[in-house]
A = this chain, B = another copy of it.
Amino acid sequence: MAFRKFLPMFDRVLVERLAAETVTKGGIMLPEKSQGKVLQATVVAVGPGAANKDGKVTPVSVQVGEKVLLPEYGGTKVILDDKDYYLFRDADILGKYID
Contacts and interface: CB of A to CB of B under 8 A. Distances in A.
Interface in A1-34: 1, 3-10, 12, 14, 18, 21, 25
Stoichiometry, as copies per complex, reads 7
A9 B61 contact: yes
Contacts of A91: 9-10
A76 B87 contact: no
A64 interface: no
Contacts of A14: 95
A58 interface: yes
Given A3-B97, A6-B95, A9-B91, 11 more contacts: A4-B98, A4-B99, A5-B98, A5-B99, A6-B97, A7-B97, A7-B98, A9-B95, A52-B53, A55-B56, A72-B76
